[in-house]
Each structure stands twice: as structure tokens, then as C-alpha cells.
């Protein structure tokens, strides 16, 4: 009995020591070490080694296969970190090269919670090849922002004991309170690439409810003061563009050159507040958005790629739902930065206009962003941006030229505040956005004169952060001319004009519109079983799309997501996860729009291969948008299956594929596709990959058009669509700071329409009563006009003429980039960008024809050189 009690006491002590934060004691150094990747300076003898790492992956709590030790020093300006990564087989250390933030090969990483707020941290990563990576960690480890781009210094070396990394981190790149003695959160990680093994100095189990709040402690820092950061980064950009010339068009001569300059600045106003400024920013992006053909009523969401908006994006984030289960509402956000500086929204179309100069992006005259966080856990972010009134030159039929305004001057303001409560156990926040336009032209009346949104959110953690409750509420208001508010009411987000809309109708005299949104979610973060359940709603009048993103309004959705996971290796598996999801959606009229379930599983094997699969079962559904303002359309249920698999990512040759297939009841729909990817890495510096895919869609209920007789008539048809695409990449990393990269994407999509049908009773209980097919004597195609003519009554009188909906769209985009970071923070780019596309509705739409058309399509080529230099003052 005594032995049993002793074992229990020892077990409790072991658990307690595992749960308690470890402590590392540092000291100030007068003669700092030279950063050369050798760790042989006498300064390193002033402190002891930190060690005793514990494995986290693949097996929680196990001893690591390789030993790791570290030392930390500091002075008035810098933090110095030395890491000795021992390896019993040093010739097997993976020294893969990549661009900055590539996170390839053997790695070590340091996370620093210098705020000591238990929620945020600054992460610095070093690969054995000397490549640097940085991430700003927020939301207690739920968000890792790799766009954060601080200046710091790194050297690595390889020897017969393993490899070494030496860090030199300016204190100006960190944020901390102004006090005499500091305690910072600290975590050190080691990745052994060939084993996919991660070990940590401070043990944190894989199923722990959070990350930053479980760090160890860095003590011994005294006498330092927050650094007032001052960085100025001017740029100069030279560009030449070659494009197809058009005879007679003075704006399509085939060649154009330009020289541009601008400046970015980062200023530490106080120890807690940082100001980012940009004047005439260069928002050029290396890689274009992926090609898509959108047959839905809704706008598409594209990721932000512009550096100014990417850096610190989590500070100004207010997702309306962000459910773990996913859903079309997950991208809804109060701030969607791509609204700022987009393409002009007005196109000159007066009858006398013959040619229009090219309409480029709206110029951002300037932008400022203030961010900060104080020692009391109060954080804030404020962004203001002004875009130019854009004018474009046009030439009329008589040869005269004039300027036409295509976008009004606009001011955008976005503000976000958050307050930590009880060391991050609770969080309360608010956000406000304002868009104000100077509508000084009559043809701008379709735009909102002003748009405002405000939101509050709250998260409460329970039971040592194992459980959480999150709530948010949003209100919106838009104002403008009657035309603008009419357009808002009848847009695809709401379609107030629907004849079966029980809640709202169109009011053509309105000059404002308001709405609300709200979300509640409850979940569990730790253990083998985790879950989240919640509900979200968008009132019919809510509108966010002036500076936010909203897919659709007028619905209430409920979801539940649960996962059972086995994170410790067993049998042939490293880990296994089983997921189940459930969804229900209604509109504000009480009509059930969606009911669906999803089951999926994912696993990685001990040989590093992985695979997964799942199925989604959807019952009958309704769409309030698919008839583009008509009544709701009822769909039969669907079933979808998908699987994926991938080989060992560490090998020189890597392959993955993801096939899927879907079908609808009543034989109304069939779809499928397959994505594959092949990557070959013959050397640490060279990586080649190609990722082809093909998707097909056979949908008997695709919307085509509508026409009016005595009533509104809606036409559907069967579409047979096939889409081919591929992404081709070649990366050659000469040094960690010098790279040559190529990316290309051919994209081809064709759609053929047949079996045209008229909607009769779109909500009937019987599928065959919802629409009726139009016979060959009711609809026919005329080659000479390229249109379909409808004679519904077979009386020789045409009720409607429809444009041919068949399409063939082809596009090829590519980029060739040389990037040289010649000193930390200062970069030279040499870029060649090429783009060609073609679109037609030819009946000759086999793949061979489309591929030939793509090769023959004229393209646009842009050559540019961009030089930046960062002054650190």
C-alpha cells in the first residue's frame, strides 16, 4: 500500500513539474558576442545553458532523439540568443534553402512574449541553411502572421556535433513595458526535419488549450528601456509594359513606360505606440490572383497580397463568424483591405465615346496605421487611407478628347480596440469602420456617400482555458442617393425584390439602409475530444462591402463541429483525427435554406505519408439568390465524396492528389474533379513543381437569364462545364538572401448549355413541377446573330432574345522574379510579368481547340525594377 501511495505522489510531482513554467536566467553583457554562428565568444560563458527539451511531436512527453541547448544574453540595444542543435548524424541535417519565411529543413525557433500578456508573442525562426523566418503570434497562438517583417541578424554553421544558430534581435523590434525589471514569456523549439520531430524547452502538450500563456519565463532583464523605432524605406520603381496594339486606338499603342517613387516609414511614437506611414505606396504583387469562372450570384473572395495591408493584419481583423466548421460566412469581415485601391468602379459609356484609356488601379495617395498595446493589456489599431479621384481620358467619335471621372476621392477609417482581462482569460473588443466618398459627379450616384459599421466582441475562457464562449454583435448603416440605396436593396447580397420575400420589400425612396449581425459560439479546446457549436445571423439590411466583406444577408445559420483525435503514435499511425459537422440555415422568413452533415477523417502514417477523406450529405435546399431577384429555387439533396493522399514531404520527390465526386438526387447534378501535385527537389537550393487539376460540372439547373412578358420569366439550362488549370513553379535559392523564382498558370474553362427550361413553380414539392423544358420549336439558335430566340407559345412571335451563354475562357499568367535582400530590410527586385487571355463562345470548344487559342492569344508583358533601402535611425 505504501509503495502505491509513493508511486502516486511521485506521479503527481512529475505532473506538477511538467505543468509548472520553467525559468531561464539571463544577464546583461558589456562586450557582446560576434554573430558568426560559432558560439566561441567569451560573452557566452556569462550564462548557463538551457536545455532538457521535451518532445511534442510525434510523441508528447517523450525524450527527443537529439539534444538541444541554448543561451540568452542582452545589452541596452539587443537580445542575443545562441542555440546548439546537437545531432548524432550531422551529415543528415536537412539544409533546404527557401525564401524568407519558407520554414524548410531543420529549424530552431524562439517565441518571445515581451508584453508578458499571455496572448501575443514575437517568433524568430532559423533554418540550418541560414534562412530567416518571423511571425507575429496573436490570440494565444491561434493566429500566426508571417507577413511581419522585422530587422534582425542570423548566422548558422554546421560541425561534427550538429549545427549552431546565433541570433541578434534589436530590442526596437520587440514591444515591452517601461519598467526596471522584466519577466518575459519564452519558448524555444527544435525541428529535426528527417524525423518530423518537434521538441520544446517548455513542455506544452499537443492537446493543450492555448499556446502563449503556457510559455516558460525569461528572467534577469533589468535596466533596459523600450526603443523608439524609426525606420524609413523609400523606393524607386521603373516599369515598361508591352501589350497588343490596336489600330486607330490612341490608348493601345503597344508600349508604355513609367517611373515611380514612394516611401514607407515606421515610427515608434512611444514605447507602446507605433505609427506606420506610406506615401504613394507600391502595391505590386509578385503573384496574381488565381483564375476563376464565377457562375454564381455572389462575389468572390481573394486573399490580400499587398505588403502594407498584410503587415499586422491581425490587429484590424474582425471576423463575423470564423467557425471551425467552415461555411460561406467564414470570410465575412468588417475590414477587407482589397476594397482600398481597387479598380475604378465606373466605366465611361456615353454614346459618343469611341476609345477609353486603360483604367488602372485607384491610386492610394497616402495611408497611416497606428498600433499599440500598453502594460495594462489594452491594444488598439487605427488605419486611415485616402484614395485619389481617378480620371481617365476618352476620345469621342469626332476625335476630341476629354477627361471623365471614374472613381471619387474616398476616405477610409478603420479602428480596433481590445482589452485583456485577467491575463487573457477574457477579452473584450470593439471595431469601427467609416467610408466617406466625395460624390461630385452625377454619374457617381450609384455609390454610397457614406458607410459605417461598428462591432463589439467578447471571449470568456473557462476551466483553465479548456472551454470558451465567444460573442459578437455588429451594426451597419449606409447612406446615399435613392439610386445607390435602391441598388443596395436589389443587389445579390439581399434581393429585396424577390416576390416571395416575407420580410422586406424594395423602397425606391430610401436614402439609407441599416442592419445587424451577431454570432455566438461555445467550444472545448483540449483533450482527445474537442468541439464547437454556434449560430450566426445576418439581418436583411446589413451591408459591409464598402470596406468590409459580406457574401449574403438575410439568414440565420447554426453549426456544430466535433473532433476526436489520437495525437500519440500507435500501430502504423503518427496521429489520426475524426471530424463530424452539422449545418442548418434559415432565412428571416423562417424558410429552411440548408441542412447538411459532413464526416471526414485525416491521418499521418509513421512513414510520413498522409491521407484522408470524407463525405457531405445535404438534404433539400433553397437558394434566395440563384434566380437573381426571382423567387427562391428549391434543389434536391446532394452527396459528395472526396479523398486525398500525399507521400513523404521530406523526400526529393513528393506527390499528392485529391479526387472528388458529387451527385444530386433527381439526376439534376453531377460533378467531380482531381487535383494533383508533383514536386521534385534535386538539391537543397532548387525546387521544381507542377500542380495540374481538372474539374467538371454537369448541372441541369444553371441560371441563364430572365425576360418579362406579362410576368417575369426565368430560364435555366443544363451546363456541362470542364475546367483545366495548372500551377508551375521553379525556385532556385542561391543564398538565403538571393533567389530566382518562376510561376506560371495556364487556365482553360469551357461551358456548353443545353436543355433550356422555364421555371414554373420553383418551390413545388415535386421536382418535375418546378420547371418545364423548352422544346426545339420553342427555343432555337441563330448563327447570324449568335443568340437564342424564345417562342414559348409556338405562335411565331418571339417573346425574348437571349445572348448565347456558351463560353470558352482561356488565360495564362506568369511571373519571373529575382529578389536580392542585399542588407537586412533593403531589397532589389527584377520582375517580368506576362499575361494573356481570350474569351469566346465558339462551338469548337474541345480541349485541343482551346489550347491552340490560348497559345495564339496576344499577351501583355511588364518588365520592372524596384529598389528599396531601409534606413534604421
Would you state the cell numbers that stand for residue 613, as one nine-digit string?
477523406
| Residue found by looking up cell 511588364 in the block | 862
pLDDT of 291 reads 75
- 597: nearest Cα among 330, 331, 325, 329: 325
CB atoms within 10 A of CB 179: 12
The string of pLDDT tens digits covering residues 417-444 is 999 998 878 999 999 999 999 999 999 9
Residue 833 cell numbers, joined: 510579368
**What confidence tier does 511 reach under pLDDT thresholds 50, 70, 90?**
very high
Phi, psi of 193 (to 5 degrees): -65, -45
Contact 117, 424 (CB under 8 A): yes
Question: Is 308 inside any structural domain?
Answer: no
The strand order across the sheet containing 779-782 reads 779-782, 787-790, 800-803
Taking the CA of residue 676 as centre, how many other CA atoms within 13 Å lie in the half-sphere pointing to its CB?
6
Cα R_g (the chain), whole angstroms:
30
Q: What separation in angstroms does the CA of 81 have from each of 110, 127, 137, 159, 187?
A: 9, 14, 19, 19, 12
**Residue 469 included in any domain:** yes
Q: Are strands 23-25 and 216-222 parallel, antiparallel or unpaired?
A: parallel
- Does residue 80 contact residue 28 with C-beta atoms inside 8 Å? no
Lowest mean pLDDT among 39-48, 464-473, 509-518, 802-811: 802-811
Element at 776 (helix H, strand E): none
* 850, pLDDT greater than 80: no
Give the span between the Cα atoms of 743 and 435, in whole angstroms.
Answer: 36
Instruction: Identify the three-state secondary structure at position 426.
Output: strand
Q: What is the pLDDT of residue 272?
A: 74
| Beta carbons of 166 and 152 less than 8 angstroms apart | no
Mean pLDDT of 587-615: 96
Confidence at residue 837, expressed as pLDDT on a 0 to 100 scale: 86
Residues 384 and 523 in one domain: yes
Which of these ranges, 532-536, 755-759, 864-868, has the smallest mean pLDDT?
864-868
27-28 and 68-74 strand pairing = parallel
**What is the pTM for the complete model shown?**
0.89
Q: Could you tell me the CA-to-CA distances from 776 to 69, 414, 587, 769, 807 in Å, in that order?
A: 79, 56, 38, 20, 21
Rounded distance between C-alpha atoms, residue 640 and residue 748, angstroms? 24
- As a dihedral over the C-alpha atoms of residue 286, residue 290, residue 291, residue 292, rounded to 10 degrees, the angle is -150
Say what the pLDDT of residue 700 is.
97
pLDDT tens across 703-754, in order?
A: 999 999 889 999 999 999 999 999 999 999 999 999 999 999 999 999 999 9
Instruction: Please report whether residue 51 resides in a domain.
Output: yes
Angle ∠(827,832,834) on CA atoms, nearest 5? 145
Does 695 reside within a domain? yes
Contacts of 515 (CB under 8 A, 6+ apart): 475, 476, 538, 539, 540, 541, 542, 543, 553
Whether residues 218 and 89 fall in one domain: yes
Domain count, the chain: 3
Q: Hey, what's the cell of 251?
A: 490608348
| H or E element that contains 852 | helix 847-856
Assigned domain for 657 exists? yes
Q: Tell me the percentage of the chain whose pLDDT exceeds 70.
A: 95
Retrieve residue 374's grid coordinates.
500598453
Consecutive H or E run containing 79: strand 78-86
The pLDDT of residue 765 is above 80: yes
Q: Are residues 640 and 759 in the same domain?
A: yes
Instruction: Place 12 in a pLDDT band, splitting at 50, 70 and 90.
Output: very low
Cβ atoms of residues 78 and 103 within 8 Å: no
- pLDDT greater than 80 at residue 6: no
Domain end call among 222, 256, 285: 222
State whether 122 and 50 are in the same domain: yes
Q: Which residue has the cell 514569456?
A: 185
pLDDT tens-digit map of 645-702: 999 999 999 999 999 999 999 999 999 999 999 999 999 999 999 999 999 999 999 9
Full residue range of the structural domain in which residue 584 is found: 317-600
Check residue 18 and give its pLDDT.
Answer: 40
The CA distance from 455 to 433, in Å, is 9
Q: How confident is the model at residue 856 (pLDDT cuts 50, 70, 90)?
A: low
Please state, in angstroms and rounded to a whole number, the distance separating the CA atoms of residues 694 and 725. 7
58 preceded by a cis bond (ω within 30 of 0): yes
Q: What per-residue confidence (pLDDT) applies to 696?
A: 96
- How far apart (Å, rounded) are the C-alpha atoms in residues 274 and 309? 15
Higher pLDDT, 170 or 274: 170
Is pLDDT above 70 for 283? no
Residues sharing a CB contact under 8 Å with residue 369, sequence separation 6 or more, in sequence order: 275, 276, 277, 308, 312, 381, 382, 383, 384
Lowest mean pLDDT of 42-46, 437-441, 795-799, name the range.
Answer: 795-799
Same domain as 196, residue 93? yes
Strand partners, 716: 703, 757
| CA–CA separation, 481 and 448 (whole Å) | 7
Residue that terminates a domain, selected from 705, 738, 773: 773
Position of cell 418571339?
798
Confidence of residue 17 (pLDDT cuts 50, 70, 90): very low
Q: 323 with 365, same domain?
A: yes
Q: In which band, very low, low, confident or very high, does the pLDDT at 791 lie, cut at 50, 70 and 90?
A: very high
Element (H or E) spanning 643, and its range? Answer: strand 638-646
Percent of the chain with pLDDT over 90: 73
DSSP string, 804-850: ---EEEEEEEEEEEEEEEEETTEEEEEEEEEEEEEEE--S--SHHHH
Q: Is 176 buried (19+), middle (13-18) or exposed (0-12) by CB count in 10 A?
A: buried
User: By C-alpha distance, which of 211, 203, 218 is closest to 63?
Assistant: 203
In tens, the pLDDT along 799-849 reads 999 999 999 989 999 999 999 999 988 999 999 999 888 887 655 555 566
Q: Are 504 and 513 in contact (CB under 8 A)?
A: no
Q: To which residue does cell 517580368 refer?
A: 832
CA distance 173 to 132: 15
Contact 402, 394 (CB under 8 A): yes
Q: Of 540, 571, 600, which marks where a domain is finished? A: 600
Provide mean pLDDT across the span 363-377.
Answer: 86
Phi, psi of 410 (to 5 degrees): -135, 140
- For residues 321-348, give the mean pLDDT: 92
- Are residues 590 and 647 both part of a single domain? no
CA distance 635 to 620: 6
Residue 214, φ and ψ in degrees, nearest 5: -105, 10
Same domain, 196 and 162: yes
Q: Please report whether residue 212 resides in a domain.
A: yes
What is the CATH number for 125? 2.60.40.1190
- For the chain, the first-to-last Cα distance in angstroms comes to 69
Q: How many CA atoms lie within 13 A of 254 on its CB side?
A: 6
Measure the CA–CA gap between 113 and 217, rounded to whole angstroms.
9
What pLDDT, on the 0 to 100 scale, is given for residue 408?
96
Q: In sequence order, which residues have a C-beta less than 8 Å from that of residue 302 and are 6 or more positions away?
A: 289, 338
Q: Cα–Cα distance between 583 and 593 in angstroms, integer?
A: 10
Q: For the chain, give the mean pLDDT.
A: 91
* Residue 579, domain member (yes or no): yes
Furthest-apart CA atoms within the chain: distance in Å: 106
Q: Are 864 and 834 in contact (CB under 8 A)?
A: no
Per residue in 295-319, pLDDT tens? 888 888 888 877 778 777 778 999 9
CA distance 575 to 360: 49
Which pLDDT score is estimated for 15?
37
3-state secondary structure of 306: coil
Strand order in the sheet with 162-170: 27-28, 68-74, 78-86, 162-170, 153-159
Look at residue 260 and tell me if it is in a domain: no
- The answer on 630 and 594 residing in a single domain is no
Q: List pLDDT tens digits, range 562-597.
A: 999 999 999 999 999 999 999 999 999 999 999 999
Residues 518 and 617 in one domain: no
Query: Pick from 263, 275, 274, 262: which is nearest to 233 by CA?
Result: 263
Helix (H) or strand (E) holding 779: strand 779-782
pLDDT band at 14 (very low <50, low <70, confident <90, very high): very low
The answer to whether 164 and 39 are in contact (CB under 8 A) is yes
Find, among 674, 795, 688, 663, the residue nearest to 725 by Cα. 674
Residue 46's SS3 state is helix
Residue 338 is given by DSSP the state: G
Highest mean pLDDT: which of 220-234, 291-305, 330-344? 330-344
Q: For position 423, what pLDDT does the model report?
A: 80
Cell numbers standing for residue 369: 496605421
The answer to whether residues 577 and 689 belong to one domain is: no
Q: Are residues 43 and 153 in the same domain?
A: yes
> Up-side HSE of residue 800: CA atoms within 13 Å toward CB?
20
Amino acid at each position: 500500500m505504501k509503495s502505491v501511495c509513493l508511486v502516486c505522489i511521485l506521479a503527481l510531482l512529475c505532473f506538477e513539474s511538467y505543468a509548472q513554467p520553467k525559468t531561464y536566467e539571463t544577464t546583461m553583457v558589456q562586450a557582446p558576442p560576434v554573430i558568426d554562428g560559432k558560439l566561441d565568444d567569451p560573452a557566452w560563458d556569462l550564462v548557463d545553458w538551457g536545455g532538457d527539451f521535451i518532445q511534442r511531436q510525434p510523441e508528447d512527453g517523450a525524450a527527443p532523439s537529439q539534444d538541444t541547448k541554448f543561451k540568452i544574453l542582452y545589452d541596452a540595444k539587443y537580445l542575443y540568443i545562441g542555440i546548439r542543435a546537437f545531432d548524432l548524424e550531422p551529415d543528415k541535417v536537412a539544409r533546404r534553402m527557401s525564401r524568407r519565411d519558407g520554414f524548410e529543413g531543420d529549424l530552431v525557433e524562439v517565441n518571445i512574449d515581451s508584453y508578458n500578456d499571455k496572448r501575443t508573442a514575437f517568433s524568430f525562426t532559423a533554418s540550418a541553411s541560414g534562412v530567416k523566418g518571423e511571425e507575429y503570434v496573436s490570440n494565444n497562438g491561434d493566429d500566426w502572421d508571417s507577413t511581419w517583417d522585422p530587422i534582425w541578424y542570423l548566422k548558422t554553421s554546421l560541425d561534427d556535433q550538429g549545427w549552431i544558430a546565433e541570433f541578434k534581435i534589436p530590442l526596437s523590434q520587440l514591444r515591452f513595458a517601461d519598467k526596471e525589471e522584466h519577466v518575459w514569456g519564452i519558448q524555444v523549439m527544435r525541428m529535426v526535419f528527417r524525423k518530423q520531430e518537434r521538441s520544446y524547452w517548455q513542455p506544452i502538450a499537443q492537446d493543450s488549450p492555448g499556446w502563449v500563456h503556457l510559455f516558460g519565463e525569461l528572467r534577469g532583464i533589468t535596466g533596459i528601456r523600450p526603443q523608439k523605432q524609426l525606420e524609413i524605406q523609400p523606393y524607386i520603381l521603373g516599369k515598361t509594359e508591352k501589350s497588343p496594339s490596336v489600330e486607330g486606338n490612341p490608348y493601345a499603342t503597344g508600349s508604355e513606360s513609367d517611373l515611380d517613387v514612394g516611401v514607407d516609414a515606421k515610427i515608434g511614437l512611444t514605447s507602446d505606440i507605433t505609427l506606420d506611414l506610406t506615401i504613394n505606396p507600391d502595391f505590386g504583387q509578385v503573384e496574381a490572383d488565381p483564375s476563376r469562372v464565377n457562375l454564381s450570384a455572389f462575389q468572390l473572395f481573394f486573399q490580400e497580397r499587398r505588403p502594407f495591408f498584410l503587415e499586422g493584419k491581425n490587429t484590424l481583423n474582425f471576423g463575423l463568424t470564423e467557425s471551425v466548421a467552415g461555411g460561406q460566412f467564414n470570410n465575412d469581415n468588417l475590414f477587407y483591405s482589397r476594397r482600398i485601391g481597387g479598380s475604378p468602379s465606373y466605366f465611361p459609356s456615353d454614346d459618343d465615346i469611341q476609345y477609353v484609356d486603360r483604367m488602372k488601379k485607384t491610386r492610394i495617395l497616402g495611408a497611416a496605421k497606428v498600433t499599440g498595446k500598453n502594460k495594462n493589456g489594452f491594444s488598439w489599431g487605427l488605419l486611415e487611407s485616402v484614395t485619389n479621384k481617378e480620371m481617365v481620358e476618352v476620345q469621342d467619335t469626332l476625335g476630341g478628347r476629354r477627361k471623365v471621372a471614374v472613381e471619387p476621392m474616398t476616405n477610409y477609417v478603420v479602428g480596433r480596440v481590445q482589452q485583456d482581462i485577467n491575463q487573457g482569460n477574457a477579452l473584450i473588443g470593439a471595431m469601427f469602420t467609416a467610408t466617406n466618398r466625395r460624390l461630385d459627379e452625377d454619374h457617381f450616384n450609384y455609390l454610397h456617400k457614406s458607410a459605417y459599421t461598428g462591432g463589439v466582441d467578447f471571449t470568456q475562457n473557462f476551466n483553465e482555458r479548456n472551454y470558451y464562449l465567444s460573442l459578437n454583435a455588429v451594426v451597419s448603416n449606409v447612406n446615399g442617393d435613392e439610386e445607390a440605396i435602391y441598388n443596395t436593396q436589389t443587389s445579390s447580397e439581399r434581393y429585396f425584390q424577390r416576390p416571395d420575400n416575407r420580410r422586406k420589400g424594395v423602397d425606391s425612396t430610401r436614402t439609407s439602409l441599416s442592419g445587424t449581425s451577431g454570432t455566438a459560439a461555445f467550444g472545448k479546446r483540449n483533450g482527445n475530444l474537442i468541439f464547437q457549436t454556434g449560430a450566426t445571423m445576418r439581418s436583411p439590411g446589413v451591408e459591409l462591402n464598402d470596406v468590409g466583406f459580406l457574401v449574403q444577408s438575410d439568414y440565420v445559420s447554426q453549426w456544430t463541429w466535433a473532433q476526436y483525435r489520437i495525437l500519440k503514435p500507435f500501430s502504423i499511425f503518427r496521429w489520426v483525427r475524426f471530424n463530424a459537422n452539422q449545418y442548418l440555415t434559415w432565412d428571416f422568413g423562417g424558410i429552411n435554406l440548408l441542412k447538411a452533415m459532413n464526416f471526414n477523417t485525416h491521418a499521418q502514417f509513421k512513414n510520413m505519408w498522409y491521407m484522408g477523406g470524407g463525405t457531405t450529405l445535404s438534404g433539400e435546399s433553397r437558394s434566395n439568390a440563384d434566380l437573381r431577384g426571382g423567387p427562391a429555387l428549391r434543389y434536391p439533396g446532394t452527396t459528395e465524396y472526396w479523398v486525398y493522399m500525399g507521400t513523404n514531404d521530406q523526400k526529393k520527390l513528393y506527390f499528392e492528389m485529391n479526387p472528388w465526386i458529387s451527385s444530386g438526387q433527381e439526376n439534376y447534378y453531377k460533378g467531380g474533379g482531381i487535383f494533383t501535385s508533383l514536386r521534385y527537389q534535386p538539391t537543397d537550393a532548387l525546387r521544381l513543381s507542377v500542380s495540374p487539376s481538372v474539374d467538371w460540372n454537369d448541372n441541369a439547373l444553371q441560371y441563364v437569364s430572365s425576360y418579362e412578358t406579362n410576368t417575369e420569366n426565368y430560364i435555366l439550362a443544363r451546363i456541362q462545364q470542364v475546367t483545366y488549370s495548372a500551377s508551375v513553379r521553379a525556385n532556385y535559392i542561391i543564398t538565403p538572401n538571393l533567389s530566382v523564382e518562376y510561376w506560371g498558370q495556364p487556365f482553360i474553362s469551357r461551358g456548353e448549355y443545353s436543355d433550356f427550361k422555364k421555371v414554373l413553380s420553383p418551390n413545388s414539392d415535386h421536382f418535375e413541377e418546378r420547371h418545364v423544358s423548352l422544346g426545339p420549336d420553342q427555343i432555337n439558335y441563330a448563327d447570324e446573330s449568335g443568340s437564342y430566340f424564345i417562342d414559348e407559345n409556338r405562335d411565331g412571335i418571339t417573346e425574348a432574345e437571349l445572348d448565347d451563354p456558351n463560353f470558352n475562357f482561356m488565360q495564362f499568367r506568369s511571373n519571373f522574379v529575382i529578389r536580392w535582400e542585399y542588407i537586412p530590410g533593403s531589397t532589389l527586385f527584377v520582375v517580368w510579368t506576362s499575361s494573356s487571355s481570350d474569351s469566346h463562345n465558339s462551338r469548337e470548344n474541345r480541349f485541343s481547340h482551346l489550347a491552340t487559342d490560348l497559345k495564339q492569344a496576344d499577351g501583355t508583358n511588364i518588365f520592372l525594377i524596384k529598389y528599396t533601402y531601409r534606413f534604421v535611425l
